[in-house]
Amino acid sequence: MTGGAQQALRRTMEIYSSTTRFAFACNQSNKIIEPLQSRCAILRYSRLTDEQVVKRLMEILALENVEYSDEGIAALVFTAEGDMRQAINNLQSTVAGFGFVSGENVFKVVDTPHPIAVQAMVKACYEGKIDVALEKLEELWDKGYSAVDVISTMFRVTKTVDTLSEHSKLEFIRVSSMYNGRWVS
């Protein structure tokens, strides 16, 4: 919601505050202007666990009689990052686009590099196989992923690479978060 739209909403809230209650749901409360925040009781909720997301997705899949694979469910959970609304939106889009929820279909819908490809790139870097890592990176570039896409996925998957020592994982995370912060800002 733009700043101007929020200002208009502020005026509406002032006019109708005696007869109407407003509820806002957002992922980043810092994007809400201060005059609106000051008129609200702010409730903060932590992200859902993977188990909570899977449980609800399985209920929806059963109710809607949707075909899926385990990789598809894992991809929905990975891309949602604890946000149930995002998980359901990704599920709906995948079913609408492909009719079957597979890992490949989910990653096509959300347009995020597949974590297995990024994980292979990280492993190659760790093992000193720079040519292989660059080849994996070039494949991602050829698919149209930006540096931000690759780095943010790398940040998230590094902790799952079993062959890396804890020190190496922390170093990869430190470097990728440093660059992710530079490009996202």
Is 150 part of a structural domain of the chain? Answer: yes
Ramachandran sector of residue 12 (left: φ over 0; alpha: ψ -120 to 50; beta: rest): alpha
pLDDT in tens, 143-173: 888 888 888 888 888 877 778 888 888 888 8
Q: Which domain holds residue 143?
A: 115-184
Question: What is the rounded CA–CA span in Å between residue 105 and residue 96?
Answer: 11
Residue 97 tokens read as 């686009």
Domain boundary among 110, 133, 159: 110
Tell me, yes or no, if the pTM score tops 0.85: no
Is residue 32 classed exposed, middle or buried when 0-12, 13-18 and 19+ CB atoms within 10 A define those classes?
middle
Residues 9 and 29 in one domain: yes
CATH of the domain at 75: 1.10.8.60
Residues 131 and 87 in one domain: no
Is 170 part of a structural domain of the chain? Answer: yes
The total of other beta-carbon atoms located within 10 Å of residue 68's CB is: 21
User: Average model confidence (pLDDT) for the chain?
Assistant: 88
Q: What is the mean predicted confidence (pLDDT) over 44-52? A: 91
3 CA to centre of own chain: 25
Domain count of the fold of the chain = 3
Q: What is the mean predicted confidence (pLDDT) over 115-132? A: 89
Q: What are phi and psi for residue 39, nearest 5 degrees?
A: -95, 5
